[in-house]
A and B are shown apart, each in its own frame.
Chain A
């Protein structure tokens, strides 16, 4: 056992951090800077990191650990480029047996964000659904029930919708949208569970990165903002809120690295349980940490121009996506002692 990242994993984290620092938004105004956005998008495309989870049905090019490292680094700087969804779409297609397809796709989730959208056999969505993290993607994938397992359906992405997350646009998939199921592969229920373990883990990685960003943002502010003739960060009332936020973030990170390792190392149900632990902890922690970031910024924290709400909004999406703390706790109760609800 050695829970430390390998030298290669450290290098990947440094590279993702550098890219995010250079091209990610550093102010809310930067989110409207389309030229910066396009440069970030092109730089991410050039790294090939969106293809980390391509490969064969039995092995991806890189493990869940590497995928989580990049998701976390991008979230730390609120990067407004598609990453989470294309990585998950690639992983789904890889498990389905589709190799060599390097197109970046979004994924379609149920309108309540809790699970992958499942389309009835015949290839039509029968309820409104949502394609997430759609920047730069023209199509999105969903599941179709097929015998004991699932096949993969693909739909064109329509108009973008206003979502809570300012860094990752979503698009509505209307009931009746045409889906195609050609040659994108077939998955067993175990495949889906293993994929869900990755999906839930990567949302936890997104939460941990956003928490790190929110703690850094508000700690810097507390060192500069002065009231009563001293930096507000010198007062215990403020110090204790930030100390708590830092501690929650470290705890969430510890659960995350195990879940990221478990994605490829453990049996699907065990990997899914590890993901549930990481997500439940991160979801509760992220709420407190991002609310703290707003409070530490005082009145400014409640204005559009402060980055604090960009992190909070990002965590609201990441929390609900594939289930927040409630559904994860319920899954653990069913799995561990046979809870019936």
Chain B
């Protein structure tokens, strides 16, 4: 057990620290306004081109084939510099890598990894949230193509994405989990309409809804076999629950650091309640950093796709919401009185963490039955 950087890791840390110092304050931006979300594509390409994204993926797809623990270093250094976290795309890469054919991987992974192609994830529907397998979007074979009809919601980056990984029903005659297939669908076509959703903190450029009205996708863009969609979706969402894939540790540590800067400027003005919430947010954020280091270390011996991501997701949710509460304790009164609303927005945004990527209640169902082995009815 050793949390110290190896010589290679120390050199890698030095490289990213220097790079972040060189680019300076240009990267600092609040994640609670629209400009942040619209600039994420640029940030992805900047980070990738500098050699600090896609660290563990095979070189043939544009990855760097570095140790999984380098991801911890990137998260720590981004937080230290106050930079945005790395793009939250690892889970899509995991899904395509595990289920896609060689042809699919060759065609789609490089652009997804290097940020030249933006992707979104079309899983949830208005009537299929937690009960994802009941989704009603259909894909019907028509020659060399499938014709897609349906309605997706909570689609992050749908406004800027070129590609959408769509989960659709291809066989209505089999049990609901078995009739689903996944496709890489080109977003810019006449049969697709994208509408933004305005979230409770006012942002409009993160989430969208996507309507498919006779949209077309080549049969060759099916990811995995017909009927393999549910398995792919489970791979994607299990990794979507891992802070290691999301880079969120950096976001939490960054907010805690900003609150500590406020406290340090006038320690005597910090109330006991604020101090307690801030310290607790730090403890939570540190715990998650160390938990992520533990999980990534477990990957040194090879990656597994198990239910443990549900534990990680629940921990991450509690962390984000503790950080949100600390932000509210420091900035709530100012915002309520009409002052700067940035900290209030951080708090408001934190409420979505117990829903996105699978609700906390769904995570608890998975932990209870698949990890603790409790019986089901």
Contact = CB atoms under 8 A, between A and B. Distances in A.
B303 interface: no
Contact of B311 (A5, A240, A250, A333): A250
A337 B263 contact: yes
A260 B2 CA distance: 10
A326 B279 CA distance: 10
A340 B263 CA distance: 11
The majority secondary structure among interface residues of chain B is helix
Interface string A245-267: 01100111011011011100100
B297 A337 contact: no
Contact of A1 (B4, B314, B371, B373): B4
A329 B297 contact: no
Nearest to A5: B1
Interface in B257-288: 260-261, 263-264, 267-268, 270, 272, 275-276, 278-280, 282-284, 286-288
Given A1-B2, A277-B286, A329-B283, A243 B297 contact: no
Size range of the interface on A?
Answer: 35 or more
B372 A246 contact: yes
A4 B368 contact: no
A329 B377 contact: no
A233 interface: yes
A239 interface: yes
Contacts of B263: 333, 337-339
Contacts of B283: 255, 276-277, 280-281, 328-329, 332
Given A2-B297, A239-B369, A254-B291, A231 B375 contact: yes
Contacts of A3: 1-3, 290, 293-294, 296-297
A222 B284 contact: no
- Find the residue from B261, B279, B296, B372 having the highest chain A CB count within 10 A: B279
Contacts of A242: 368, 372, 374
Given A254-B290, A332-B283, A1 B72 contact: yes
A233 B376 CA distance: 8
Contacts of A219: 372-374
Contacts of B167: none
B268 A340 contact: yes
Contacts of B296: 3
Contacts of A51: none
Contact of A330 (B72, B279, B291, B372): B279
Given A247-B314, A277-B286, A336-B260, A223 B1 contact: no
A249 B275 CA distance: 25
Interface string A264-284: 010000000000110011000
Contacts of A255: 283, 286-287, 290-291
Nearest to B287: A255
A27 interface: no
B375 A2 contact: no
A234 interface: yes
A65 B368 CA distance: 30
Contacts of A234: 374-377
B55 interface: no
Interface of B: 1-6, 9, 69, 72-73, 260-261, 263-264, 267-268, 270, 272, 275-276, 278-280, 282-284, 286-288, 290-291, 293-294, 296-298, 300, 311, 314-315, 318, 361, 363-365, 367-369, 371-377
Per CB-CB distance, the 7 closest pairs between chain A and chain B, nearest first, are A239-B368, A254-B291, A243-B367, A329-B279, A243-B364, A233-B374, A3-B297
15 contacts: A1-B2, A1-B9, A1-B293, A3-B293, A233-B374, A236-B368, A240-B368, A242-B372, A243-B367, A250-B291, A257-B290, A277-B286, A336-B260, A338-B267, A340-B267
Given A4-B298, A244-B314, A337-B263, 4 more contacts: A1-B6, A236-B361, A239-B369, A246-B311
Interface of A: 1-6, 9, 65, 215, 219, 222-223, 230-231, 233-234, 236, 238-240, 242-244, 246-247, 250-252, 254-255, 257-258, 260-262, 265, 276-277, 280-281, 326, 328-330, 332-333, 336-341
